[in-house]
Amino acid sequence: MILQMFKKTKVLNLERSYRAPIDTVWRAWTEPDMLRQWWGPEKTFVPECDVDLRVGGALHIVMEAGPEMGKYQGTRWPMSGTFTHIERPTRLTYDARSWTEGEEEGTTIHHTNDITLTGNDGSTTVRMHITISRIGPKAKMAAFGMKWGYKAQLGKLEKLLSDQA
């Protein structure tokens, strides 16, 4: 049953609006110091974040489970990608792979993330279109949970942006 449900989630579409200007939201997506503050679900933090913001440039973010995650504390989930499309400040696309550190061969998920920002009177709408193209044999549950993870981090982005206001 879980595999049947997953088949319906190979393409994820999310949308969220923020009370923040488009330039601020763009910086939150593209500046390492800001990305570190909101990337990943609750109870995780980002010890590594590198952004080479140009087509062909690399994106590398490592999420790590904090103490609140109990037995998972210290588990690291890297994501490495390459920017394929950049239109400042409205669109950002990258091909990426995510995995559990130390288990890369079986846990890697390949995905393309297309982020579109639309500004309107000091507010910004973020639309994410994620296409999952390949899932390692030990990553099916992680891939199934990606939508929840993205929703959680978009909530953290809202808190960061409201703190910036």
Tens-digit pLDDT string for the chain (165 aa)? 344 444 444 899 999 999 999 999 999 999 999 999 999 989 999 999 999 999 999 999 999 999 999 999 999 999 999 999 999 999 999 999 999 999 999 999 999 999 999 999 999 999 999 999 999 999 988 888 899 999 999 999 999 999 876
Pair 146, 109: CB distance under 8 Å:
yes
Residue 72 located in a structural domain: yes
User: Which structural domain, as residue segments, surrounds residue 88?
Assistant: 21-161
Residue 3 located in a structural domain: no
Residue 12 located in a structural domain: no
Residue 1 located in a structural domain: no
Residue 74 located in a structural domain: yes
Predicted pLDDT of residue 125: 98
Q: Please state, in angstroms and as integers, the Cα–Cα distance from residue 142 to each residue in 69, 104, 109, 116, following that order.
A: 16, 13, 8, 24
Number of H helices, E strands in the chain: 6, 7
Q: What is the number of domains present in the chain?
A: 1
Residue 138 located in a structural domain: yes
Q: Please state, in angstroms and as integers, the Cα–Cα distance from residue 66 to each residue in 59, 60, 70, 115, 163, following that order.
A: 22, 19, 8, 27, 22
Residue 66 located in a structural domain: yes
CATH classification at residue 123:
3.30.530.20
Predicted pLDDT of residue 43: 93
Residue 8 located in a structural domain: no
Q: What CA–CA distance (Å, rounded) separates 49 from 19?
A: 25
Predicted pLDDT of residue 164: 78
Kindly report the pTM of this predicted structure. Answer: 0.91
